[in-house]
Structure 1
């Protein structure tokens, strides 16, 4: 029987820790081990972790004497893992029933699959839930690595708490990169996709909590775009030996980033953030001067030419026209 190691980094999430760990322990199917790594939390993490260790022999616990940060903690978990598969599950998230058996069954049956992921449920600070879809179909299926890279379009479409990877390949590829605090997971999934197929589970696999303490919070659109650019450059340089037409792939991914920057510039203009809009527009041209000829850039230029006040009056008409066009 295949087995799974679940690594649970925890910092200041003692109040979430029990739900997270128990969501793994109640999974049916594969044999399981859980490692809680307490990154010197100043809350009650140690107390909750010790209770979990005492209640289930499958749970182990480590505590740092000083805070190491999420990436170093995650890499420590990778070094610990020895099962067939592994999952990195932040202590503020939790698994849904059947998640591990669905992932393991797919990977057992398809040795070419480097990692699997699925949809997630987003739980916000008010307790409201919404779906975080993968956007890659409604049936469980397998993508080639290049198809997965193309579907990402220079974004991260993967909900991290749903990801199960092959442990041996993870160790071969190495850990997360410390100089990518915002996009280290995006770079990791691209790295895996360069070395195998990607499985997509047509089910909600985990609950992802969205709150102000998330690592993904607090980044401006400019910072997000620059971190994504850095992730792509790391990926392309590190995997050039196994990628076909790496220069063409770099050109295409950079164009996607530039188009995203234009979309962000347009959204900023709509909010009246004219200086930010100008910065984002310049960033898009820095990424790829050819984006100047895109339809998105043309629309932004039109909006600027008529001015923000006139655009706010005209915008409902344009949005209605777009809606009609999409339906037909």
Structure 2
């Protein structure tokens, strides 16, 4: 070896790559599995292991899964009876995942190049971070994949600050495929709640945030979220069912992991106000369009649904809703500019009288 040559690092002394366990629950998604698993096996800078967990599919999933499992990094397992998505999630994450980090990725979604290395780097640099998320990119099934941003800049919030922000938002800020979590924190948090089939993920992010900090990659698109007719969010859910699931996800967290939070009552009130304001805005949009029903409910039923959450008279949308409901959808559509002006003035009056009493959480 000449003096200018540096000794090569042997495989024995090279630092171990972060290990990531990826659980891919699948039910009749055989057509999506090759691209899904391919996006995982192509990840660089990490040691990936993949479990395709087939929930008793009736399509070609067994054949596709067996073919994919020819790669030693892929395991294919099949339920003999359908257990449902929550039980499948918990089986994969709690019983199988043993890497440093873990991912739950629906069989119809994909990860973007470099997603795992970007997320695990944030958690390697800060042991207090329990999960990292970036931005999901929606794309139409059958169409080309959009270009993904790959920025490595990260931001970290304390768990308390993130929890407050999610309650103030009144909605789930995460789709799901864009999350990489610390496996130990996931195991400590326990499984997804079977009573929350459509908001268990929201509760899970809050539970993980209770156990540490939260990392965000603002300049990175971490996952591709496929839009197609059989997406779970296309399930026949009316406005009441969706709202109740969202509310129950928040309140389940507060009744369990968040029951000792000193600001528990404040964020609970803020969340219910935010949900009620969203319903009232739907009432306004529906009436202005000349309609009297939306998402399977009449405007009166929507109004009553909002009233179950908080005192509507204390909300800025209240004057506009009452004006529109008084004149009816047919006149609302015809008098839309006039109605908007009247309710805007009433809204300003409301702010003058009540605004000084409103305080952020």
User: Residues 167-222 of structure 1, C-alpha deviation per residue, up to 9 Å, x if partnerless?
Assistant: 01111110111111111111111111222211111211111112232222222221
Instruction: Show the 5 A alignment for 1:35-54.
Output: 35-54=51-70
- How big is the alpha-carbon RMSD for the aligned residues of Structure 1 and Structure 2? 2.4
User: Residues 246-303 of structure 1, C-alpha deviation per residue, up to 9 Å, x if partnerless?
Assistant: 12222222222222222233233344034522111111111112x3221112211122
Match of 1:288 in 2: 310
User: Matched residue of 2:308: which SS?
Assistant: helix
Asked whether the equivalents of residues 285 and 292 of structure 1 are also in contact (C-alpha less than 8 Å), the reply is no
**Cα offset, 1:241, TM superposition:** 4.8
Instruction: Show the 5 A alignment for 1:133-144.
Output: 140-144=154-158
Structure 1 residues 254 and 130: alpha-carbon distance in aligned structure 2, compared to 1, 3 A threshold: farther
Match of 2:261 in 1: 243
- Name the CA distance, whole Å, in 2 between partners of 1:246 and 1:125: 41
Structure 1 residues 229 and 128: alpha-carbon distance in aligned structure 2, compared to 1, 3 A threshold: farther
Residue 314 of structure 2 corresponds to residue 299 of structure 1: no
Number of residue pairs matched? 315
User: Matched residue of 1:199: which SS?
Assistant: strand
- Name the CA distance, whole Å, in 2 between partners of 1:131 and 1:313: 43
Asked whether the equivalents of residues 119 and 131 of structure 1 are also in contact (C-alpha less than 8 Å), the reply is no
- Name the CA distance, whole Å, in 2 between partners of 1:128 and 1:308: 41
Q: State the TM-score, normalized to the length of structure 1.
A: 0.89
Match of 1:216 in 2: 233
- Name the CA distance, whole Å, in 2 between partners of 1:181 and 1:116: 23
Match of 2:126 in 1: 110
- Name the CA distance, whole Å, in 1 between partners of 2:262 and 2:18: 33
Match of 1:186 in 2: 202
Range with greater deviation from structure 2 (310-319 or 170-179): 310-319
User: Matched residue of 1:155: which SS?
Assistant: coil
Residue 292 of structure 2 corresponds to residue 273 of structure 1: yes
- Name the CA distance, whole Å, in 1 between partners of 2:148 and 2:317: 26
User: Matched residue of 1:160: which SS?
Assistant: coil
User: Matched residue of 2:174: which SS?
Assistant: coil
- Name the CA distance, whole Å, in 2 between partners of 1:273 and 1:148: 37
Match of 1:253 in 2: 271
Range with greater deviation from structure 2 (2-11 or 254-263): 254-263
Q: State the TM-score, normalized to the length of structure 2.
A: 0.81
Residue 79 of structure 2 corresponds to residue 58 of structure 1: no
Structure 1 residues 268 and 149: alpha-carbon distance in aligned structure 2, compared to 1, 3 A threshold: farther
Match of 1:315 in 2: 336
Structure 1 residues 244 and 283: alpha-carbon distance in aligned structure 2, compared to 1, 3 A threshold: same
- Name the CA distance, whole Å, in 2 between partners of 1:292 and 1:28: 55
- Name the CA distance, whole Å, in 1 between partners of 2:145 and 2:292: 30
Asked whether the equivalents of residues 119 and 201 of structure 1 are also in contact (C-alpha less than 8 Å), the reply is yes
Which protein is bigger by CA-based radius of gyration?
2
User: Matched residue of 2:80: which SS?
Assistant: coil
Structure 1 residues 28 and 126: alpha-carbon distance in aligned structure 2, compared to 1, 3 A threshold: closer
Asked whether the equivalents of residues 85 and 166 of structure 1 are also in contact (C-alpha less than 8 Å), the reply is yes
Range with greater deviation from structure 2 (85-94 or 212-221): 212-221
